[in-house]
Amino acid sequence: MSGAPTHVTVLLSEAVEALAIRPDGVYVDGTFGRGGHSRAILSALGAEGRLIAFDRDPQAIEAGRLLADPRLTLVHAPFSALAVELERLGVACVDGVLLDLGVSSPQLDEPLRGMSFRFDAPLDMRMDTSRGQTVAEWLAEASVAQITEVLRDYGEERFAYAIAKAIAAARAGGAVATTRQLAEIVEKAVRTREPGQHPATRSFQALRIFINQELEELSLVLPAAMAHLKPGGRLVVISFHSLEDRIVKRFMRDESRPPQLPARLPVRAADLPKPRLSLVGKAARPGSDEVAANPRARSAVMRVAERTEVAA
């Protein structure tokens, strides 16, 4: 294993401020990572406060155990299991939920995780290395149509079909098992690419999102988080990809509007059911100083919504 990679938490103070933390509140950090947001939340909590931190990455959970804070409960599970795990812990509702999406720097910078074409390593890409199928295993059996769909839908890759055919042709001579193999296959199949971007960037991103079911996990956790928020509780989500942000934006927008009723139904505006969320401010992005210090922050978008009094 290489030297321990570090992670710089994005929008740290902004996210914690958006949670509007009560000292005796109960909060959820859906993506512990290396604990940047969790440490800041704990520092704002009083002795009676509580933080429940999720992560599907065993290494993140191991790092979290070093905190040894009695107010912190670590849960080795994807955040889509929020409802099940809160019930298991006897927690009916919480005062805030923070979701910092995407991957952490240690996941990208640890060669053995196989998430980056910067290193030659086994083609894994799983966030939870204790379970599930690796990218290499999936590519060994996926059809050209399936690979094309993943690259197109999750990576918005316009050369998806050409890349899929190239992968299928390459595996006829042996498994596509390493990051270098995949990067070279993609590089030969992609005719043009945006300046400054490696030809394999979109393909690696698409396969990582797919193998970890990142968009599906997000779609599951948002309604669960909303349902478990107390009135006045905050949902804070930091996205790093347009597909993620689109899901978050639509969810918060739809839940902050009254339910859509059939056209021409004779109902007064005052009698319409009230929305379950209210939007808090506008979408926030890192400032120029933060992006200069941490280039990986440049695509981050933070959205905030508050739970209303309306019952779930």
Which residues define the annotated binding site for S-adenosyl-L-methionine?
35-37, 55, 79, 100, 107
Confidence of residue 271 (pLDDT cuts 50, 70, 90): low
Confidence of residue 270 (pLDDT cuts 50, 70, 90): low
**Residue 147 vs residue 273, higher pLDDT:** 147
Q: What is the rounded CA–CA span in Å between residue 155 and residue 171?
A: 21
pLDDT reported for residue 73: 97
Specify the pLDDT at position 262: 63
Q: Which two tokens stand for residue 164?
A: 């899929």
Of the candidates 185, 182, 189, which has an alpha carbon nearest to the alpha carbon of residue 159? 189
When pLDDT is cut at 50, 70 and 90, the band that residue 41 belongs to is very high
Element (H, E) at 97: strand 94-100
Instruction: Please classify residue 23 by burial: count the beta carbons closer than 10 Å to its beta carbon, then call 0-12 exposed, 13-18 middle and 19+ buried.
Output: exposed
> pLDDT tens for residues 216-247?
999 999 999 999 999 999 999 999 999 999 99
Residues 6+ apart with CB under 8 A from 157: 151, 163, 202, 203, 206
Would the CATH topology of 12-106+214-307 be identical to that of 129-211? Answer: no
Q: Which CATH class is domain 129-211?
A: mainly alpha
Report the pLDDT averaged over residues 199-203. Answer: 93
Task: Determine the pLDDT at residue 3.
Answer: 43
pLDDT score at 258: 78
> Annotated binding residues, as ranges?
35-37, 55, 79, 100, 107
Homologous superfamily, domain 12-106+214-307? Vaccinia Virus protein VP39 (3.40.50.150)
Give the residue with greater pLDDT, 129 vs 19.
19
**pLDDT winner (highest mean) among 85-89, 173-177, 256-260, 286-290:** 85-89
What average pLDDT does the segment 192-208 reach? 88
Q: What does pTM read for this prediction?
A: 0.89
Greater pLDDT, 260 or 19: 19
Q: Sketch the domain layout of the chain as residue ranges.
A: 12-106+214-307, 129-211
- pLDDT of 285 > 80? The answer is yes
Chain centre distance of CA 297: 14
Task: Tell me the pLDDT band of 274, cut-offs 50, 70 and 90.
Answer: confident
Query: At CA 301, angle to CA 300 and CA 303, rounded to 5?
Result: 150
